[in-house]
Amino acid sequence: MKRLLVGLLLFVPAALFAQSAFDGTWVFTAESGQFGGKPMILSLKDGIYRCDSCVPKIETEADGKDHKRTGSPYNDVINIRVVDDRTVESIGKKRGKVVGKSIDTVSQDGNTLTSNFTFTADNGEKGSGTTIYKRVAPAPPGAHKISGTWQTEKLENASASMMTVTYKSSGDGLSMSDPTGDSYTAKFDGKEYPYKGDPGTTSVSLKKIDDHTIEETDFRNGKVISVSRMTVSPDGRTMKVESEDKLHGTTAKFEGKKQ
């Protein structure tokens, strides 16, 4: 039997046994995050909450009641509630269900904004984390302390659902999946292929730079919304991802390890 098996294997193309440097499950760390680009711009004054850096922009009453939101693939209702003079609660809903929530609190000195957030993905997977921002421009006179311009400084306590991704090569392409239900299978030909699981991303294209580097471009209805470059280290143990969010004008870098 062993001799027969060896004989059969001689006729199997060697390419089937070639494993890409990307193959496997990768876990990224929040602590490795580096952020840049445009800041977040918030305003809460005279009972009106505004997020000028959001896409689409938000302008709604901060009265703790549900208000319709249009243009966002992630939520269709938003609810803003003032907790106290330093804290605001934001809730996003979609088709009647809560899909996201954040508690945003400004420090006593007014220079740090801490956003504790939770979310539920379309597949039901939950996630959470904390984003820390530093103030780069003051609040308008008479506005709530959350108002002003804030630069992302770091990400903390990010759940595994946010930081885990699995890749599988197919010779001329790559498949991706993660715990929140995001997935795609695409070839390295620059063409658009369906992106599943993320209501804000409709398709993806891949470009193979070399055996250790791949460039991914994400689209929403034909429009580029982000570009990421994934690079695996020569020893195949770590991966660095550099992403540019075209919608918000921000950048992020993370490092992960193969499990």
Residues 6 or more apart whose CB falls under 8 angstroms from that of 7 comprise none
Q: Give DSSP secondary structure letters for 47-81.
A: TEEEETTSSS-EEEE-SSSEEE--S-SS-SEEEEE
Coil vs helix vs strand at 152: strand
249/252 Cα distance (integer angstroms): 11
In one-letter notation, the amino acid at residue 200 is: G
What are the φ and ψ backbone dihedral angles of 121, each rounded to 5 degrees? -75, 170
Residues 6 or more apart whose CB falls under 8 angstroms from that of 5 comprise none
pLDDT, position 234: 96
- 181-188: Cβ within 8 A, 24+ apart: 181/121, 181/122, 181/123, 181/125, 188/214
Residues 6 or more apart whose CB falls under 8 angstroms from that of 136 comprise 39, 149, 150, 151
Topology (CATH) of 18-34+162-258: Lipocalin (2.40.128)
96/194 Cα distance (integer angstroms): 27
217 contacts 3 by C-beta, under 8 angstroms: no
pLDDT in tens, 97-116: 999 999 999 999 999 999 99
Report pTM: 0.90
| CA-closest candidate to residue 195, choices 171, 226, 241 | 226
Q: Where are the alpha helices (DSSP H) in 140-204?
A: 160-163
C-alpha torsion sign, points 62, 64, 65, 66: positive
**How many C-beta atoms surround the C-beta of residue 211 within 10 A?**
10
pLDDT, position 151: 98
Residues of the chain with pLDDT under 70: 1-18
134/236 Cα distance (integer angstroms): 35
pLDDT, position 171: 83
Q: The tokens of 153 are what? A: 């400084």
pLDDT in tens, 26-63: 999 999 999 999 999 999 999 999 999 999 999 999 99
Domain with CATH 2.40.128.20 in the chain: 18-34+162-258
**How many C-beta atoms surround the C-beta of residue 113 within 10 A?**
25
237/233 Cα distance (integer angstroms): 6
Q: The tokens of 101 are what? A: 């929530």
